[in-house]
């Protein structure tokens, strides 16, 4: 029997890279300062880093699947150059108003459940971190640790809700440190 591992589910835009709204070109990718260091801490602790991202720009026709793929490659490259690594990436290309409802778009839990199946992850023991309420809501639904890290794009309501119903950290690094120290109990 295989033991399932806790993971860190990390939002991409506004959390790992600066949110530039439907990024379509690799040159637009900029890492959030300190984000790669935070991912490296997870790598060193043996916690899989799973990027989970809504990419409704694909449904909207703002970016193509291949543009998305090139941007995702660039994100992985920049993270690698900074000494860290991403273990897997899941994305939802849908938008309910265009492609109809789906199970994967956050705050849905589909991408997290798929990752848990494919990578044998413990959803209850995992970290859910991002700059929107919809990034952390799945963590609450799945019984994990939900921490919002505000970006310039975080709505005030999302922040207030996270302060009330989840947790808030000042940076991805702080969220990771809080998660890793809890897990060491
Ligand atoms: Mg985001
Ligand atoms: Zn979807």
Please report, for the domain that includes residue 142, its CATH number. Answer: 3.40.50.1000
pLDDT-derived band of residue 185, with 50, 70 and 90 as boundaries? very low
pLDDT-derived band of residue 182, with 50, 70 and 90 as boundaries? confident
135 is catalytic: no
Structural domain range at position 75: 8-181
| CA 102–ligand 2 middle distance (angstroms) | 5
In a domain, 3, yes or no: no
In a domain, 2, yes or no: no
Number of domains in the chain: 1
pLDDT-derived band of residue 21, with 50, 70 and 90 as boundaries? confident
Q: Which of 11, 131, 135, 158 is catalytic?
A: 11
| CA 182–ligand 1 middle distance (angstroms) | 24
Q: Is the pLDDT of residue 53 over 70?
A: yes
In a domain, 92, yes or no: yes
In a domain, 115, yes or no: yes
Mean pLDDT of the chain: 96
| CA 90–ligand 2 middle distance (angstroms) | 10
In a domain, 58, yes or no: yes
In a domain, 164, yes or no: yes
Spatial distance between the Cα atoms of 77 and 155, rounded to a whole number of angstroms: 30
Spatial distance between the Cα atoms of 64 and 39, rounded to a whole number of angstroms: 27
Closest CA to 134 of 24, 49, 56, 31: 56
In a domain, 1, yes or no: no
pLDDT-derived band of residue 121, with 50, 70 and 90 as boundaries? very high
- Tokens linked to 138: 């799945």
13 is catalytic: yes
Ligand nearest to the CA of 136: 1
For the whole prediction, is pTM greater than 0.85?
yes
Q: What 3-state DSSP class applies to 168?
A: strand
Better-scored residue on pLDDT, 44 or 3: 44
Q: Where are the alpha helices (DSSP H) in 25-183?
A: 35-44, 56-60, 65-81, 96-99, 110-119, 133-141, 156-165, 172-183
Q: Are 30 and 13 in contact (CB under 8 A)?
A: no
């Amino acid at each position: 029997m295989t033991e399932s591992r806790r993971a860190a589910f990390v939002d991409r835009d506004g959390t790992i890279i600066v949110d530039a709204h439907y990024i379509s070109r690799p040159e637009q990718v900029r890492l959030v300062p300190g984000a790669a260091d935070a991912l490296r801490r997870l790598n060193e602790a043996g916690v899989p880093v799973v990027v989970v991202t809504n990419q409704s720009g694909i449904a909207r026709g703002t970016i193509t699947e291949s543009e998305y793929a090139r941007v995702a490659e660039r994100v992985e490259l920049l993270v690698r150059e900074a000494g860290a690594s991403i273990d897997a990436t899941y994305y939802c290309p849908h938008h309910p108003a265009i492609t109809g409802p789906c199970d994967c778009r956050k705050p849905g839990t589909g991408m997290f459940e798929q990752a848990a199946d494919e990578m044998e992850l413990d959803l209850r023991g995992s970290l859910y971190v991002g700059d929107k309420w919809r990034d952390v809501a799945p963590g609450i639904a799945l019984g994990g640790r939900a921490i919002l890290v505000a970006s310039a794009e975080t709505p005030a309501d999302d922040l207030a809700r996270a302060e009330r119903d989840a947790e808030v950290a000042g940076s991805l690094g702080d969220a990771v440190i809080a998660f890793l120290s809890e897990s060491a109990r």
